[in-house]
Amino acid sequence: MNLPLGRVYRLVGASRAGLSCDEDGVALGRIVLVRRAPGTGEVYRYVLRPKDEVGEVLRLAYGDQSNEVVERCYRALVRAAAWLEAGNQALAAAEAVMMGLPQLTVQAFAKLALLDALEKADGASWEDEPRVSAGQREGGRWTSGGGSSPSKISVTSELCAPTRVFPVLSRDDLPIKGQPAPQTPQVLLFERLTREAIEEAPHELPFIGKVPLWLRGIIIHGYFAARVTATLGPGHAEVSYLNGRVVPYGTPGSSRTDGIYGIQAVPGIAVEIKTSNAPMTFGQLRQYGQNLPLGTDLILIRLEAPDE
């Protein structure tokens, strides 16, 4: 079913069964499509979901959509975000209304609510504590389409030494290639827990059906955290650090690990999982160097799914 053109629809309040647009951004049901983020001074910037994720949200809400419909809606979101940044909420709302999105059915609202709960459980990039540096939302998430069986997903580990010292001209978005991680019992343990999480993560969910790979990456993180907790005990999964100290989840400027080995105050190993085969960058490693306790080894576990 393609969205009908040439009709005008109304906006609803935030988190209700339809499209909303206010100073916090644009959302469909409980799924944020455009969010407000800190800018410079008192000026906010507005960040959009990637286009492929917008298409998946529309599919969950309204059924299969053509590329033309997804493109039209995404361009409208770009314009709405620009008006919000300019401080003109009225014109932003007008752009949102002209997308022509129907009200959500009960079933569609439930699907989007489930997706929202999964993202919030993982602490996805719409939160204050991204896994990757600003503007690189694809880090730590599946980015390609298609599907891969667990047996075809490769698991590799790299040792990335957190440090605060870099060449003056280094850019935060430049990738860093870590050296192969030594196959210690601790590294082998985390690799095994990662494979178990891949095996357990479902390919389908109630209401949603086949899980898009970017969403399955979120689910894998959740299953990995559960496996770490069951194996090593509470306090070893999703621990956040700021300036060498353990801090609550969501603390601005902190770094959240996917898992640690050892006691929280001085872990011997911290683990970061990337389900997009993405590299570590200067900016990410610098942030880890500033936040992890001294002497902590950072292990990057990268999952790579072959194209199908």
Average per-residue pLDDT for the chain: 77
Any domain includes 237: yes
Report, as an integer, the average pLDDT of 114-125. 66
The pLDDT value recorded for residue 102 is: 87
Q: Which residue has the higher pLDDT, 87 or 3?
A: 87
Structural domain range at position 205: 150-304
Give the CA angle between residues 259, 265, 270 to the nearest 5°.
Answer: 25
- Rounded CA gap, 70 and 64, in Å? 10
Residues 174 and 287 in one domain: yes
Pair (293, 173) in one structural domain:
yes
> Is residue 213 domain-resident?
yes
Give the gyration radius of the chain's Cα atoms.
Answer: 20
Q: Clarify whether residues 188 and 113 are in a common domain.
A: no
Q: Is there a domain that residue 7 lies in?
A: no
pLDDT computed for residue 134 by the predictor = 29
Same domain, 205 and 281: yes
Q: Are 180 and 257 found together in one domain?
A: yes
Whether 173 is in a domain gets the answer: yes
Q: What is the dihedral of CA 61, 56, 213, 158, to 10 degrees?
A: -120
State the total domains in the chain.
2
Of 74, 103, 122, which residue constitutes the final position of a domain?
122
Domain-located, residue 128: no
**pLDDT 10s digits, 34-64:** 988 876 666 778 888 888 889 989 988 898 8
In a domain, 31, yes or no: yes
Answer whether residue 130 is part of any domain: no
Query: What pLDDT does 115 receive?
Result: 80
Q: Are residues 278 and 209 in the same domain?
A: yes
Asked, for residue 5, whether it belongs to a domain, the answer is no
Tokens for 1? 């079913």
Same domain, 288 and 180: yes
- When pLDDT is cut at 50, 70 and 90, the band that residue 143 belongs to is very low
Is the pLDDT reported for residue 12 higher than 90? no
241-249 average pLDDT score:
92
pLDDT at 270: 94
Same domain, 271 and 176: yes
In this structure, are 98 and 176 located in the same domain? no
Query: Are 295 and 180 members of one domain?
Result: yes
The reply to whether 282 and 187 lie within a common domain is yes
Q: What is the pLDDT of residue 213?
A: 67
What burial letters (b/e) apply to 275-294, b meaning 16+ CB within 10 Å? bbebbbbbbbbbbbbbbbbe
* pLDDT surpasses 90 at 177: no
Q: What angle do CA 222, 219, 107 make, to 5 degrees?
A: 125
